[in-house]
Amino acid sequence: MPRFFLIILLCAAWTAAASPAEVREFKLDNGLKLIVKEDHRAPVVVSQVWYKVGSSYEHSGITGLSHVLEHMMFKGTRKHGPNEASRIISANGGQENAFTGRDYTAYYQQLEKSRLPVSFELESDRMRNLLLKQDEFVKEVQVVMEERRLRTDDDPESLTYEHFAATAFHNGPYQNPVIGWMGDLENMTLADLKQWYKTWYAPNNATVVVVGDVQPDEVFALAKKYFGPLKPSKLMPLKPRREVEQKGLRRAVVKAPAELPYLLMGYQTPSLTASQGADGEPYALEVLSGILSGGNSARLAKHLVREERIAASAGAGYNLYSRAPDLFMLEGTPAQGRSVAELEQALRDQIKRLQDEPVSEAELARIKAQVVASKVYEQDSTFGQAMQIGTLVTVGLDWRLQDSYLDRINAVTAEQIQQAARKYLIDDHLTVAVLEPLPLDPNKKPRGPLDGHLGGGNVR
Amino acid sequence: MYVKAWIGAILFALCSIAQAGPQIEQWQTHNGARVYLVAAPELPMVDVRVVFDAGSARDGGKSGLAALTNGLLDDGAKTADGELNADQIAERFADLGAQFGTTADRDMASVSLRSLTKPDLLQPSLQAVAAILTQPGFPQNGFEREQSRVLTHLQAQEQSPGEIAGKAFFKAVYGEHPYATQALGNPDSIKQLTRDDLIAFHNRYYVARNAVVAIVGAVTRKEAEAIAETLVDKLPEGEAAPALPKVAGLENAQNVQIPYSSAQTHILVGQPGISRIDPDYFPLVVGNHILGGNGLVARLAEEIREKRGLSYSTYSYFQPMREPGPYTLGLQTRNEQTSEALKVLRDTLKDYVEHGPTAAELKAAKQNITGGFALRIDSNANLLDYLALIGFYQLPLDYLDSYNRKVEQVTLEQIRDAFKRRVKPEQMVTVIVGGGAQANQN
């Protein structure tokens, strides 16, 4: 899947936000933030540790560093050997993983509620005591290169997204892929990782989010016990790296072996953190993305897929909670017999329509009905609830924003949507990337007996 | 967002556990659909899924028919107040804040609804779902559009070495059995389908005696009975689908190599595995947990990823189905390392089949499976999945309650014995897709 889809998924999760359950925030003396939300439906707990570091903190030459470090966080401390923490979590009936995004790196465990101390013990240990060893690094960076081949190099749409982002951003923090350019992975060193770990892994750069069948004060006591003794670091302020103003439409063509063409379009837009007070605009853009692609009733499915049959699939996405100014995205695959140029024109026509005429009251009401309902549905997932809190805090926003989300969406008017479309969805701030398929293998028919070197089978 | 390991999710979802499971109620509608309910009063919402034994195993030689029928259900329907077209159906659900979806695999074809429980929101959604199930219009223009979208989807699969490998694997493992083809079909079969095929398929398989209704949410037994009746009331009673053909075992090893211009080679190794009601279910599933089912803590991950850095994702899993679903082991690695990675995979499997797990491994696996029980039924969404599974495969109602006990009872000897009898490394299918640009010149 291209990263773009992940962004859309995130937005979909966000049409969620907020719930009546109580949330408590604590701060340790060393600067660590703890946020606890009670959910007593099942005797389980999810614990997530969020660090303010991700690919948007990296620069040319060290891309992919945050993500490789995330992998190395499982390779042991003085107390626990490589992979041992994973075995301990497993033996406690837990599930665990970690993820790196543009604006964050996060680690989590899901456990039966009484096992929360196991999570805190292991996370506090690796927050400050990671052993970064050469032999483990050499293997793990190979694993990450395999991950890159799997997700990007052998996926033409994903590859197109990578080139698209590198075209849409000239100097901004979202220019580089989270997984890193292959050349940077090949030249990464253990010293790079050690420096990165030292710079960002500290209690005063971390937020612990706990959601589940727990008592907030007890969780606070546990956090003090395990994370309290950790020393804070002196954090260097991030340089803003403001993206230069775009001075005209940009295009990229990606030629790669593929069966289908693919189109990506992105307009430079503000996000909530970067909107400098005009924060009605991000909410208008959020509703606008719902008007275009909030499900099967939205305009792209209705007009482009069903009515005109120009697109086999089409979507729009906007990430309200990006740390830096980001893109309003459109993407699609042409229907059989239709061209990528026709699809681009159809998408631009949809944008023009948003600029020319206000959206109908029925469409606005529909978006709002979906938001109201999804605020209930989201409470079915403790993990999703923790994700929302962690994301907000880590991009520098107040987690209470999720409580006002519904009101903010309800306040958006048809006129604001039209204004936002006119102001931001303009050609001079647009980047278009097209995947031009090169022929795949012409003779990829199943063959009979294997070559000798693959060996091992009894071929009849 | 990049996660450290891709492996778990589906595998885990299929092998879960219970200490004190949820209270399941079960009954039949007047026309013979089986209904399963778990009341979950905490949130003012309800999830409903109607599952038919109408997956692609019922394609009857018209590959892709079951999935296209299922996917086209909401493209238009007759209701009490007249016809709804695709736009109107989509708008109806959106206006009510409801989420509607359809999905089909080899065994099942399902329709799902998530709604708030407020009657003025829930009732109109239920009416729409009932209309979709009982009187879908299958309009010709919608049929042609979806037919063409499936062709695009099939093309997209051809640019994914993983998808190509998966298709070739099922084909080789299942030969003439209906499980051999994928639910989506193939371009030739899709082009030959007609709207009449869909109507006939719907008439045969979307009937009450071939349906299971699963309900989880803030509803009483009485309310749930009304929901179920609303949904399937107008379905003809019909007949349950007949038994599927038996799956033949593999007699010889079979190797399928597909040259492909990718940076990585995808490897799948396996054979027919187990059905949902297999007598060796627990020894095999617990045993596999240790070999390749428990993420990065499993043996395959240890040998292939942790020790050698050969692959990002390596795993093994049983996919229990109506008839034995596949047992699959897999990895992806850069082309030059193919033979090395395949050798480690095969050696790890052979060693495991020969010697079985250690006592320490079995203990750790049981701790993981039983200790994590609460996690796997901690949401309405998870419960609904289990309820549909229990209903569709007619598993005992204490399936969740007894799961942990059955896991605890598995012994080292049972695992060794079951793996030796059932898992045949010398008679497996091996699919290899990749080789890079030069592979194409062969």
pLDDT score of B82: 87
Check whether A320 has a pLDDT greater than 60: yes
The full length of chain B comes to 442
Neighbour order of strands in the sheet with B264-272 = B254-260, B429-435, B264-272, B326-334, B314-318
Contacts of B334 in chain A (CB under 8 A): 145-146, 149
Option in B86, B264, B439 nearest A154 (CB): B264
Regarding beta strands B211-217 and B34-39, do their DSSP bridges make them parallel or antiparallel, or are they unpaired? Answer: parallel
Give the E-state strand segments of B325-436 in sequence order. 326-334, 429-435
CA distances from B356 to B273, B283, B292, B347, B424 (A): 17, 11, 13, 13, 14
Q: Are A146 and B310 in contact (CB < 8 Å)?
A: yes
Report residue A99: phi and psi, to 5°.
Answer: -145, 150
User: How far B267 CA sits from the closest chain A CA (Å)?
Assistant: 11
B252 in contact with A, Cβ within 8 Å: yes
Type of residue at A113:
K
Are B425 and B349 in contact by the 8 Å Cβ rule? The answer is: yes
Option in A95, A140, A373 nearest B372 (CB): A95
User: How far A386 CA sits from the closest chain B CA (Å)?
Assistant: 14
At A158, list the tokens: 């994903």
Contacts of B338 in chain A (CB under 8 A): 454
CA distances from B174 to A17, B65, B108, B326 (A): 46, 19, 18, 9
Option in B159, B252, B374 nearest A440 (CB): B159
pLDDT score of A458: 31
Q: Are B308 and A139 in contact (CB < 8 Å)?
A: yes
Check whether A427 has a pLDDT greater than 90: yes
Q: Are A154 and B374 in contact (CB < 8 Å)?
A: no
At B424, list the tokens: 């045949």
Lookup result for tokens 């699609």: A332
CA-nearest residue of chain B to A442? B440
Q: Which one of A22, A25, A58, A70 is the catalytic residue? A: A70
Check whether A181 has a pLDDT greater than 90: yes
B240 in contact with A, Cβ within 8 Å: no
pLDDT score of B440: 45
Note the pLDDT tens digit of each residue in A398-425: 999 988 999 999 999 999 999 999 999 9
Higher per-residue pLDDT: A403 or A195: A195
Q: Are B312 and A86 in contact (CB < 8 Å)?
A: no
Q: Please give the helix or strand (H or E) that residue B281 lies within, else none.
A: helix B281-288
Check whether A174 has a pLDDT greater than 80: yes
At B57, list the tokens: 């195993």
Q: How many CB pairs under 8 A join A and B?
A: 276
B24 in contact with A, Cβ within 8 Å: no
Q: Are A457 and B339 in contact (CB < 8 Å)?
A: no
- Is position A25 annotated as part of the catalytic site? no
CA-nearest residue of chain A to B1? A101
Q: Are B97 and A369 in contact (CB < 8 Å)?
A: yes
Q: Are B432 and A178 in contact (CB < 8 Å)?
A: no
Mutate to test the interface with A, among B4, B45, B442 (most CBs of A within 10 A): B4
Cβ neighbours for A272, distance < 8 A, ≥ 6 positions apart:
A279, A282, A320, A321, A397, A401
Q: What SS3 state is found at A442?
A: coil
Q: Are B1 and A99 in contact (CB < 8 Å)?
A: yes
Q: Are A382 and B153 in contact (CB < 8 Å)?
A: no
Are A408 and A23 in contact by the 8 Å Cβ rule? The answer is: no
Are A101 and A55 in contact by the 8 Å Cβ rule? The answer is: yes
User: How far A157 CA sits from the closest chain B CA (Å)?
Assistant: 10
Mutate to test the interface with B, among A394, A454, A459, A460 (most CBs of B within 10 A): A454
Q: Are A97 and B158 in contact (CB < 8 Å)?
A: no
CA-nearest residue of chain A to B162? A150
For the CA atoms of A270, A274, A276, A282, what is the dihedral angle to 10 degrees?
A: 40
User: How far A367 CA sits from the closest chain B CA (Å)?
Assistant: 8
pLDDT category of residue A440 using cuts at 50, 70 and 90: confident
pLDDT score of B438: 56
Contacts of B155 in chain A (CB under 8 A): 259-260
Q: Are A380 and B380 in contact (CB < 8 Å)?
A: yes
Note the pLDDT tens digit of each residue in A65-115: 999 999 999 999 999 999 999 999 999 999 999 999 999 999 999 999 999
pLDDT score of A6: 31
Whole-angstrom Cα distance, residue B432 to residue A447? 10
Are A348 and A427 in contact by the 8 Å Cβ rule? The answer is: no
CA-nearest residue of chain A to B377? A42
Whole-angstrom Cα distance, residue B374 to residue A94? 10
Q: Which residues in chain B land under pLDDT 70?
A: 1-20, 437-442
Of A52, A97, A65, A27, the C-alpha closest to A392 is: A52
User: How far A200 CA sits from the closest chain B CA (Å)?
Assistant: 18
Note the pLDDT tens digit of each residue in A25-73: 999 999 999 999 999 999 999 999 999 999 999 999 999 999 999 999 9
Q: Are A377 and B160 in contact (CB < 8 Å)?
A: no
Cβ neighbours for B88, distance < 8 A, ≥ 6 positions apart:
none
Contacts of B85 in chain A (CB under 8 A): none
Contacts of B162 in chain A (CB under 8 A): 150
Q: Are A450 and B294 in contact (CB < 8 Å)?
A: no
Type of residue at B83:
E
Are A55 and A323 in contact by the 8 Å Cβ rule? The answer is: no
Q: How many CB atoms lie within 10 A of CB A365?
A: 12
Q: Are A456 and B368 in contact (CB < 8 Å)?
A: no
CA-nearest residue of chain B to A366? B95
Check whether A351 has a pLDDT greater than 90: yes
The full length of chain A comes to 460
Option in B4, B155, B442 nearest A97 (CB): B4
Higher per-residue pLDDT: A6 or B311: B311
B381 in contact with A, Cβ within 8 Å: yes
Q: What is the largest CA-CA distance in chain A?
A: 72
Option in B8, B90, B374 nearest A43 (CB): B374
Contacts of A86 in chain B (CB under 8 A): 295-297
Contacts of B333 in chain A (CB under 8 A): 146
Give the E-state strand segments of B261-305 in sequence order. 264-272
Q: Are B375 and A112 in contact (CB < 8 Å)?
A: yes
Mutate to test the interface with B, among A103, A109, A377, A385 (most CBs of B within 10 A): A377
